[in-house]
Amino acid sequence: MSRRSLRNALVLSATLAIAATATACAQEVNTGGDTQAGGEITLKETGFLTTCTHLPYAPFQFTEGDKTVGFDVDLVDMVAQNLGVQQKIFDTPFEGIESGESLNTGQCDVAAAAMTITPERQGVMDFSVGYFDANQALLVKKGSGIDSLEKLRGKKLGVQLGTTGEDYAEANKAQYGYEIVQFEDLALEQTAVKTGQVDAGINDNSVHYEFLKTNPDVEVTTEFKTGDQYGVAVRKGNGALLAKVNEVINAAKADGRYDAIYQKWFNKLPESK
């Protein structure tokens, strides 16, 4: 897909998503120029810090009643409060977020989608300091006996499009001889494991453990120590907003607000931060 057609597709998807999740607003593109720490922060919509994310990804961002809630939502709320504005959530496909297109086309000011900081993504967007540690984990039906990639030989492994879990699965596919099945979002991947559409699903450990709370027929049988670290992203060169995000995250880690939201969503204190 060409760059122009991809952009058009993303704009259309974003328009449909916001109609379902929030009051429609003007789609003004305001990507701005390069800025420096301490410089003027320009937001795409007056009075709002617009956040691109991809729902659902509990407990980081998901719908509860008529609201989007989660750990990432609470974290970015701190940035919005510091700026004296409200956060507005913009649900859009993860492929557009992790490619940098969502930020470059002005769909949002920041992207917070439990997104791992990788060298490839750092080439197309700028990341905050890390705010969450994660590894990959294998979700299977309880009693399947599948507790390694070796036991998936000749079987189907579900992945979420554009994620580091998909990258890990692709990197080990030839060695372990499984078939990869792609899903647009986390919910579809996890449901496919429950229904037997795939034999296992790989994704970040925290979201799979969250899924176990209400789905006793599945289990996590192993983790892969990939050392993922999540970051909040801004358009490349937006140094003023990036500095503000870092300032707020670092302050929250120091004054206990980070611990409070971690306890709220994970029922424990962080082992590292």
Q: Are residues 239 and 209 in the same domain?
A: no
**What confidence score (pLDDT) does residue 32 get?**
56
Q: Are residues 146 and 177 in the same domain?
A: yes
Q: Give the range of the structural domain holding residue 153, as residue numbers without chain letter.
A: 134-228
Tokens 């719908």 belong to residue:
63
Q: Which residues of the chain have pLDDT under 50?
A: 1-29
Strands (E), the chain: 48-53, 62-64, 67-69, 86-91, 110-111, 125-127, 132-141, 156-160, 179-183, 200-204, 218-230, 233-235
**What confidence score (pLDDT) does residue 31 get?**
53
**What confidence score (pLDDT) does residue 271 get?**
86
Q: Are residues 95 and 208 in the same domain?
A: no
Give the CATH number, domain containing residue 218. 3.40.190.10
Cα–Cα distance measured from residue 80 to residue 47, given in angstroms and rounded to the nearest whole number: 9
Domain count, the chain: 2
**What confidence score (pLDDT) does residue 26 get?**
36
The structure's pTM equals 0.84
Beta bridge mates, 64: 67
